[in-house]
Amino acid sequence: MRGTALVTGAGSGIGREITRELLRRGVSVVGVALGQGELDALERETAGSSATLCTLRLDLTEKDAAASVLREVDRRGLTVDTLVNCAGVGLYGEHLDLDDAAVDRMIALNVAALTSLSTAFARRMTRAGRGRILNVASTAAFQPLPRLCAYAATKHYVAAFTLGLAEELAGTGVIVSLLCPGITATPFIEGAGVGSGTPTDRLARRLAMSPEAVAVEAVDGLERGRGLVIAGRRNRAHYALTRALPERTFTRVFGRVTRAAG
């Protein structure tokens, strides 16, 4: 796999490590993120790479953000062969207690921005007769989750949209893949509102995969054209369990555990 990839959420977490892994494999990357400081640090850290990294600071929740990305890609004379939609946020807690504006922003980033970018680049890729798209969902896409209900719903959408689009584009030369990581040791946990040091926080950190390990599985799956990539043995077992248990049973158990843990 060569050419140029565009990675959203490239400033931190899984997106950052996917960017680094692609560069290690000789793929040039356009890294998109909200924080300029994160992008500057990424440029410094990858300065010796054989492939090229260029960065774009952009708030993907802004209106017409996808159009802004396309304009910048064209301005730089780049052809994007691979799109990785990794930018996303989560919110943890009783849904009625969450800040409405934060929920709206999460939906705008996790759902609207991903859809717009996938659509815009898929159109270009189908015209070219080749390309790859990797959309990042979560094991939260496997079932409804109390205390994460809006976040899980956004990831249900990502999974359904991505798998449906993959079928629509079969035979066009464009491969569409879905990545479902589980809990990962990134700033996401704290950013979602899980209290530091709480039982839920401690459990999450014990179960977390490293973002580097997730990135390796993600890029391996992307190179092999796999339609569904579930990172980690534990998460693959989780997937199998959600298929074996009634959905309502899993949801009730998760709700009781998280309420008890705080």
Q: pLDDT digit string (tens) for 163-181?
A: 999 999 999 999 999 999 9
Q: In what side-by-side order are the strands of the sheet with 131-136?
A: 53-57, 28-33, 4-8, 82-85, 131-136, 174-180, 228-230
pTM of the model: 0.89
The pLDDT assigned to 203 comes to 56
DSSP letter for each residue of 197-208: TSHHHHHHHHHP
The separation between CA 217 and the C-alpha centre of its own chain, rounded to angstroms, equals 13
The pLDDT assigned to 241 comes to 82
Active site residue 157: no
The pLDDT assigned to 243 comes to 80
Tokens representing 11 are 């400033």
How many CB atoms are closer than 10 A to CB 149?
A: 17
Tokens representing 199 are 């039982």
Which segment of 91-95, 111-115, 170-174 scores lowest on mean pLDDT?
Answer: 91-95
pLDDT in tens, 65-90: 999 999 999 999 999 999 999 999 99
- CATH 3.90.850.10 for domain 4-261: no
Average pLDDT of every residue of the chain:
90
pLDDT in tens, 212-247: 999 999 999 999 999 999 998 888 898 888 887 777
Catalytic residue, from 92, 151, 157, 239: name it.
Answer: 151
